Amino acid sequence: MESSSTARALLVGGDASLSSLLKDVLGELGIALELDGPGVAVSPDLVLVHVERGEGLHRLLGRARELLRQGPFIVLVPFADDRLVQLALRLGARDCYALGRPLEELRRMLRTHLPGARDASLTSSGGAVPPNPGVDS
C-alpha cells in the first residue's frame, strides 16, 4: 500500500507564531505541519522540537519519542548554541537548526531527512515561479 504523498511534521515545544512561520517553509516542500497539543492525532514522519533552554530538552525529546519512536527529530534552538546543539545530538536528535539562520539551511535539512520532500529551489521566497527556460513566450 502506498503512503500519502504529503509528508507530515509535528512541532513540539513551539508556539503559534513559530508554527505559522514553519508552516510556510514546510509547505513549500510539500510537508504539512501540526502543532503538538492535547489530543493531537497526527502520525508524523518528522518531529521538530523547539527548545529554549537545555533543561527542557530531555522532556521535549521524550515527548517527540512518544510521537515517533525512531525519529527523525530535528531540534530548533534559539541561536547557535554549540553546547545545546551537542547535547541535543547526544540525546538522539538527527539534526539541529538555529532559528535566525537562513531558511534555506532548514529547507536543505528537511530534504535530507525527508527525501520525498518537494524541491523548493524553483520557488523564490515570494512564491513567484521563475519562467521555464524550455518554453518560448
Q: The CATH number of the domain where 39 resides is what? A: 3.40.50.2300
Encode pLDDT of 94-118 as tens digits.
999 999 899 999 999 999 888 767 6
Q: Is residue 132 part of a domain?
A: no
**pTM of this structure:** 0.78
- pLDDT at 42 (0 to 100): 66
DSSP state of 122: G
Q: How far apart are CA 124 and CA 77, in angstroms?
A: 25
- The mean pLDDT value of the chain amounts to 80
Q: Is residue 127 part of a domain?
A: no
- pLDDT at 108 (0 to 100): 92
From the DSSP assignment, how many helices (H) and strands (E) are in the chain? 4, 5
Q: Is residue 44 part of a domain?
A: yes
Of residues 107 and 136, more confidently modeled:
107
* Cβ neighbours around 134 below 10 Å, total: 5
- Domain count along the chain: 1
Q: Is residue 25 part of a domain?
A: yes
Q: Domain span at residue 40?
A: 7-119
Q: Is residue 128 part of a domain?
A: no
Cell numbers given for 1: 500500500
Calculate helix-pair angle for 57-67, 82-90, nearest 10 degrees: 40
Q: Is residue 69 part of a domain?
A: yes
Peptide bond just before 72 cis, omega within 30 deg: yes
